[in-house]
């Protein structure tokens, strides 16, 4: 995963567009590894399969029946590493992202035998789909980069708009993780949860950051208020994990919510 050299001043949308374009112009390898900590393109797609299986499928499996008959949406498809995994479960998967290199992603997905994916460009604030057009939405390692709480809230509202009635969403976002990130201790995770109340009095913080670093953290209580206001029922909350070679689960830098759209 590439990280910018300086604190971002262009705005998160422009910053991502320009840095991703630079990677694409450099080489295919630079483009596909830009979005993840991976030594090469194949490793990036393997990691994407892992992330989708562990963080999305395990979270929503009991709430989503017959996925092979449903249309899914990924917010922030990047280089296609996660959407490739999702394509094996759903009738169709639509991906949206701010960059201008969907042709590279489409070609790579076709080379990997993926034919049921459609990619669209977003303006970084809205989902370019009609009302009630998808059955499932997911986003992983994306909403921590939207920079402003208003954009985060807008994506929640947009997710509710494009989901069909009783549709399910799994959305991850940046969390307060001073103590527990890359640690296995549940007590340290709970300490971070308590620290939200002290260090995030407004429920969020917009952080000056380099492009592709976390620049928005949102407390779980704040996120829960926002999704309820958008008409979602909360089915559960989540935290991202990393697993090291000895099998120990380490806490990652995201919390998440499993949601269902009401009537």
Mean pLDDT of all residues in 76-102: 97
Whether 150 is in a domain gets the answer: yes
Tokens of 255: 């919390």
Residue with tokens 């701010």: 98
Of the candidates 99, 117, 103, 100, the residue with the CA atom closest to the CA atom of residue 48:
117
Count of beta carbons in the 10 Å neighbourhood of residue 213 = 16
Which range is most confident: 4-18, 29-43, 79-93, 238-252? 79-93
Of the candidates 252, 216, 222, 255, the residue with the CA atom closest to the CA atom of residue 50:
252
Whether 5 is in a domain gets the answer: no
Whether 4 is in a domain gets the answer: no
Q: Binning pLDDT at 50, 70 and 90, where does residue 248 land?
A: confident
Kindly report the CATH number assigned to the domain that includes residue 157: 3.40.50.150
Whether 136 is in a domain gets the answer: yes
pLDDT per residue as tens digits for the range 142-200: 999 998 999 999 999 999 999 999 999 999 999 999 999 999 999 999 999 999 999 99
Share of the chain above pLDDT 90, in %: 87
Tokens of 230: 């958008």
Count of beta carbons in the 10 Å neighbourhood of residue 110 = 11
Whether 3 is in a domain gets the answer: no
Looking at residue 4, what is its pLDDT? 64
Mean pLDDT of all residues in 86-92: 98
Q: What is the rounded distance in angstroms from the CA atom of residue 173 to the CA atom of residue 249?
A: 19
Average the pLDDT over each of 14-28, 177-191, 235-249 and give the range with the smallest value. Answer: 235-249
pLDDT per residue as tens digits for the range 185-230: 999 999 999 999 999 999 999 999 888 899 999 999 999 999 999 9
Looking at residue 3, what is its pLDDT? 67
Looking at residue 145, what is its pLDDT? 94
Q: What is the rounded distance in angstroms from the CA atom of residue 84 to the CA atom of residue 97?
A: 15
Q: What is the DSSP letter of 217?
A: E
Whether 7 is in a domain gets the answer: no
Residue with tokens 């949308």: 13
Q: What is the rounded distance in angstroms from the CA atom of residue 81 to the CA atom of residue 169?
A: 19
3-state secondary structure of 13: helix
Contact 113/135 with Cβ under 8 angstroms? no
Q: How far is CA 251 from CA 139, 239, 254, in A?
A: 18, 7, 8
Contact 104/31 with Cβ under 8 angstroms? yes
Number of domains in the chain: 1
Range of the domain at 227: 12-261
Q: Binning pLDDT at 50, 70 and 90, where does residue 1 land?
A: low
Whether 2 is in a domain gets the answer: no
Whether 138 is in a domain gets the answer: yes
SS (H, E, C) 166-202: EEEEEEEEECCCCCCECCCCHHHHHHHHHHHHHHCCC
């Amino acid at each position: 995963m590439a990280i910018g050299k300086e604190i971002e001043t262009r705005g998160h949308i422009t910053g991502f567009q320009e840095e991703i374009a630079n990677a694409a112009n450099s080489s295919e390898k630079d483009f596909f590894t830009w979005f993840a900590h991976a030594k090469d393109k194949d490793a990036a797609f393997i990691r994407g399969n892992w992330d989708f299986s562990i963080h999305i499928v395990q979270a929503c499996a009991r709430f989503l029946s017959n996925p092979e008959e449903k249309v899914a949406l990924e917010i922030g498809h990047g280089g296609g590493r996660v959407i490739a995994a999702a394509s094996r479960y759903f009738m169709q998967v639509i991906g949206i992202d701010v960059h201008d290199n969907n042709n590279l992603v489409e070609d790579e997905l076709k080379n990997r035998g993926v034919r049921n994916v459609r990619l669209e460009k977003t303006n970084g604030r809205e989902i370019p789909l009609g009302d009630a057009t998808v059955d499932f939405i997911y986003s992983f390692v994306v909403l921590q980069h939207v920079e402003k709480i208003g954009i985060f809230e807008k994506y929640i509202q947009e997710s509710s708009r494009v989901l069909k009635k009783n549709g399910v969403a799994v959305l991850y976002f940046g969390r307060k993780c001073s103590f527990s990130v890359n640690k296995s201790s549940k007590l340290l995770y709970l300490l971070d949860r308590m620290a939200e109340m002290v260090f995030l009095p407004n429920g969020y913080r917009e952080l000056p950051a380099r492009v592709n670093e976390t620049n928005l953290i949102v407390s779980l209580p704040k996120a829960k208020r926002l999704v309820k206001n958008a008409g979602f029922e909360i089915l559960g909350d989540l935290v991202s994990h990393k697993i090291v070679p000895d099998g120990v689960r380490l806490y990652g830098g995201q919390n998440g919510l499993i949601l269902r759209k009401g009537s």
